[in-house]
Homo-oligomer: A and B are copies of this chain.
Amino acid sequence: MKNAEAVVAKLSEAAIRRYGMIEAHDRILIGASGGKDSTSLAYDLSVKRRWWPLPFDIAALHIATDVGDSQDIAPLSALFADWGIPFESVFVPVRERIKEGHTMNCYWCSTQRRTELIRFAMERGFNKIALGHHLDDIVETLLMNMLHKGEFSTMPPVVRYRKYPLAVVRPLALLEERQILAFAAEKGFSSITCTCGFDGASRRREVRAKLAALTGGSSEQKRNLFAAMSNVNVEYLA
A residues contacting B by CB (< 8 A) are: 19, 143, 145-159, 173, 210, 213-216, 221, 223-238
Closest to A160 in B: B235
Which residues of B are found within 8 Å of A147, using beta-carbon distances?
214-215, 221, 224-225
Inter-subunit contact A232/B237 (CB<8 Å): yes
Contacting pair B229 A149 (CB below 8 A): no
Q: What residues on B are CB-neighbors of A158 within 8 Å?
A: 238
The 8 A-B pairs of least Cβ separation, nearest first, read: A150-B227, A213-B213, A153-B236, A153-B233, A150-B224, A146-B228, A152-B232, A152-B228
- What is the minimal beta-carbon distance from A111 to any residue of chain B, in angstroms? 15
Q: Are B224 and A148 neighbours in the complex by a CB distance under 8 Å?
A: yes
The answer to whether A156 touches B238, judged by C-beta atoms less than 8 angstroms apart, is yes
CB <8 Å contact, A19 and B233: no
- Quick one: closest B residue to A207, CB to CB? B214
Tell me whether B223 and A150 are in contact (CB under 8 A). Answer: yes
- Would B232 and A149 count as touching, CB distance under 8 A? no
A229 touches B224 (CB 8 A): no
| Chain B residues with CB below 8 A from A221, complex form | 147-148
Structural contact, B224 and A230, CB atoms closer than 8 A:
no
Residues of the B chain whose Cβ atoms lie less than 8 Å from the Cβ of A156: 235-238
Out of B145, B155, B226, B237, name the residue touching A229 (CB < 8 Å): B237
Q: Which residues of B contact A143 (CB under 8 A)?
A: 214
Q: Which residue of B lies closest to A148 (CB)?
A: B224
For the complex formed, measure the closest distance between the CB of A173 and the CB atoms of chain B, giving whole angstroms: 8
User: CA–CA, A146 to B154, complex, Å?
Assistant: 15
> In the complex the two chains form, is B230's CB within 8 Å of A237's CB?
yes
